[in-house]
Amino acid sequence: MSEWLLRLHEFSGGFAWPWAWCALPLPWLVAWLLPARKPAGAALKVPYGQRLRHIVEAGGTARRLGVPLLAALAWLLLCAAAARPQRLGEAVVPPHSGRDLMLAIDLSGSMSEPDMELGGRAVERLTAAKAVLADFLDRRKGDRVGLLVFGQRAYTLAPLTLDRDSVREQLRDSVTGLAGRETAIGDAIGLAVKRLREQKKGQRVLILLTDGVNTAGMLDPLKAAELARAEHVRVHTIGFGGSGALSLFGLALPVGGNDEIDEATLQKIAQTTGGQFFRARDTAELVGIYDELDRIEPVTQPGKAVRPRIELYPWPLAAAMLLAVLAFIRPGRWP
């Protein structure tokens, strides 16, 4: 018996609005509060009045057992429909796709070089990188994203979070030289590993963007790459910097940009950790790189099992309407 009740409970979703049952006694309450109708006096006296009265009373009894009963059942069903009966469907486990993604952005002095083009005008490297990264963040739904910046030292601006707006705000407020004028690539990787090591394996990703060579910091970049590999952190590196010239009306104009990027070290970091190395010389190439990173294999894992609630109110509502129609068309409904 208890097992049967347990199965019934699991099947039933109950009522979404159980307070609607409070309306059930309303018709009887109204009938009780309203003053009783006084019978009208006899208008006509006939010799067979007693016999006629028995016939009328028999018809009234039939109506009391017919129409009022149908009306009561219809009201009961209307209250049941208003309470929204539900049942629980089969359990569904929706897939959840997401990664723990750290963005490491170089804020060294060279990121202020105006050798990038955005919207038809020359802009600094950091300005171009911000514009591309903002669009990249818009597509990170389901990922926990963190932001760290590095120059002479590395700092975390935003821990891993699903709140992409806060990461975007921190990115927008970042300026060159905020973390020093030099470049500490190794320290940036080490700090990212520290932030990611507590997360699930296979979901730890670091995207590092720099336009220079490691010139500062306590940790050598290749040693940091080995540490990342040991902690199962995949590092994708991006060498970002122009060729020192901008195109104006088809002519190359020198702007004195520094194009010294340690591509060999960045390639080695990516190779050691199972990531990829990219080279972007302009904004368009950087957009293409982040489009490619957007397709990095997501980690799909089962989400929390849910049992959908299926509405059942149409059934009692339809039955109430049917009973109301029967009460209306029933012979002898009128007094």
62 vs 94, more confident: 94
Q: How far apart are the first and last CA of the chain?
A: 49
DSSP of 168-184: HHHHHH--TTTT-SS--
* Chain centroid, CA 137 distance in Å: 15
Question: Which domains, from first to last, does the chain contain?
Answer: 2-31+49-90+306-329 (no CATH), 95-302 (3.40.50.410)
Beta strands in the chain (DSSP E): 12-15, 85-88, 95-97, 100-106, 116-118, 121-123, 144-150, 154-161, 204-210, 234-240, 245-248, 251-254, 277-280, 300-302, 309-311
Any idea which of 109-113, 118-122, 146-150, 267-271 has the lowest mean pLDDT? 118-122
CA–CA separation, 238 and 275 (whole Å): 11
pLDDT at 304 (0 to 100) = 65
Helix (H, G, I), strand (E, B) or coil at 79: helix
CA distances (Å), origin 324, targets 76, 79, 330? 12, 14, 10
Residues 228-257 pLDDT 10s: 999 999 999 998 876 544 443 333 344 444
Half-sphere exposure of residue 278: CA atoms within 13 angstroms, side-chain side: 24
pLDDT of residue 135 exceeding 80, the answer is: yes
* 5 — pLDDT class (breaks 50, 70, 90): very low
CA–CA separation, 166 and 170 (whole Å): 6
pLDDT at 8 (0 to 100) = 40
pLDDT at 50 (0 to 100) = 58
- Average pLDDT (145-153) is 91
* 199 — pLDDT class (breaks 50, 70, 90): confident
Phi, psi of 76, deg, nearest 5? -60, -45
The answer, as to whether pTM is greater than 0.95, is: no
CA–CA separation, 192 and 205 (whole Å): 9
Residues 155-165 pLDDT 10s: 999 988 888 88
pLDDT at 49 (0 to 100) = 53
148 vs 250, more confident: 148
Residues 45-61 pLDDT 10s: 555 555 545 544 544 44
Q: Long-range contacts of range 13-18, CB-CB < 8 Å, 24 or more positions apart?
A: 13/85, 13/86, 13/87, 13/88, 13/309, 13/310, 14/85, 14/86, 15/83, 15/84, 15/85, 15/86, 16/83, 16/84, 16/86, 16/309, 17/82, 17/83, 17/84, 18/83
pLDDT of residue 266 exceeding 80, the answer is: yes
CA–CA separation, 77 and 24 (whole Å): 10
Residue 37 carries which DSSP code? P
Q: Burial of 206 by CB count in 10 Å (0-12 exposed, 13-18 middle, 19+ buried)? A: buried
DSSP of 83-124: T-EEEE---B--EEE--EEEEEEE-SGGGG---EEETTEEE-
96 vs 84, more confident: 84
- Average pLDDT (113-128) is 83
Any idea which of 65-74, 131-140, 231-240, 276-285 has the lowest mean pLDDT? 65-74
pLDDT at 251 (0 to 100) = 37
- Average pLDDT (121-134) is 86
Residues near 330 by beta carbon (within 8 Å), at least 6 away in sequence: 66, 67, 70
Any idea which of 66-75, 94-103, 321-330 has the lowest mean pLDDT? 94-103
- Average pLDDT (260-269) is 89
- Average pLDDT (295-313) is 67
298 vs 195, more confident: 195
Helix (H, G, I), strand (E, B) or coil at 74: helix
pLDDT at 98 (0 to 100) = 65
